[in-house]
A and B are shown apart, each in its own frame.
Chain A
Amino acid sequence: NAGVMQNPRHLVRRRGQEARLRCSPMKGHSHVYWYRQLPEEGLKFMVYLQKENIIDESGMPKERFSAEFPKEGPSILRIQQVVRGDSAAYFCASSPSSMNTEAFFGQGTRLTVV
């Protein structure tokens, strides 16, 4: 049973380009969370999704950021028109459908905007 898979591990984008980050949850997990870690900061929640539904997007900037978790395929975090301040590590976590369970994290995608 593979763990949470994120790709790419490293992504370099020029200002104004789009960044697409992918997350495949652990087998049997239908809940996905995205977090962002800025340098010298803790992880901050961005968005919580279940299959085909956004449950909580209170931590995600209103502009330029979007997320989806389709019925088939990985969850995608999309950042349009990236700016230097978007440079960070983006982590995905998954959990099964039951409550009060351990969160399993992927290795993260490190986005650098140049």
Chain B
Amino acid sequence: KQEVTQIPAALSVPEGENLVLNCSFTDSAIYNLQWFRQDPGKGLTSLLLIQSSQREQTSGRLNASLDKSSGRSTLYIAASQPGDSATYLCAVQGFSGNTPLVFGKGTRLSVIA
């Protein structure tokens, strides 16, 4: 059974700092991995999708890497801003495709101005 763990559970950093969020998963037979952002009381916004054959994806100040063999992904946020404050969720999809996503509990990020 796939399990996804995110460390740390919460993180507080000063504005401008570069930071890394970690995600690990127990079953390396994944189809893709997706990072989401969730603002309090809101829905999920997809940030980056990494296919199983890819090593990383970039979007603006965000960079996500995937090491499938070790069951790890990192989300790197450069030059953090107060507007980045949110909960970041990592989710993996099983090998068959269109199988449900398995989520971690998230990392709650606060960027202090």
B42 proximity list for chain A (CB < 8 A): 107-108
- Majority secondary structure of chain B interface residues (helix, strand, loop or mixed): strand
CA distance in complex: A108, B104 (Å) = 18
Which A positions have Cβ atoms within 8 angstroms of B?
Answer: 6, 31, 33, 35, 40-45, 48, 56, 59, 91, 93, 95, 99-108, 110
Q: Check A91/B44 contact, CB under 8 A, given A43-B89, A102-B49.
A: yes
> Are A102 and B46 in contact (CB-based, < 8 A)?
yes
For this complex, 7 residue pairs linking A to B, each with C-beta atoms less than 8 Å apart, are A6-B43, A43-B101, A99-B31, A99-B98, A101-B98, A102-B34, A102-B46
In whole angstroms, what is the CA distance A105 to B36 when docked?
Answer: 10
Given contacts A42-B105, A43-B89, contact A104 B98 (CB under 8 A): no
Interface: B25 (CB within 8 A): no
Contact residues in B for A59 (Cβ distance below 8 Å): 100
Known contacts: A102-B49, A108-B43. The answer to whether A95 contacts B106 by CB under 8 A is: no
Asked if A100 contacts B51 (CB within 8 A), the reply is yes
Do A100 and B31 touch (CB < 8 A)? yes
Least CB distance from B104 to A in Å reads: 6
> A42, B44: Cβ atoms under 8 Å?
no
Given A42-B89, A56-B100, A103-B34, list of 6 further CB < 8 A pairs?
A35-B103, A48-B100, A59-B100, A95-B98, A99-B98, A105-B43
In the complex, are the beta carbons of A103 and B46 less than 8 A apart?
A: yes
0/1 interface trace, chain B 14-29, chain A, CB 8 Å (1 if under): 0000000000000000
List chain B positions with a Cβ less than 8 A from chain A.
4, 31-32, 34, 36, 41-46, 49, 51, 89, 91, 93, 96-106
Bound-state Cα–Cα, A6 to B91, Å:
21
Task: List the A residue with the shortest CB-CB distance to B52.
Answer: A100
Q: What residues on B are CB-neighbors of A102 within 8 Å?
A: 34, 46, 49
Q: Which residues of B contact A40 (CB under 8 A)?
A: 105
**Residue on A with the closest CB to B46?**
A102
Given contacts A100-B51, A102-B34, contact A45 B44 (CB under 8 A): no
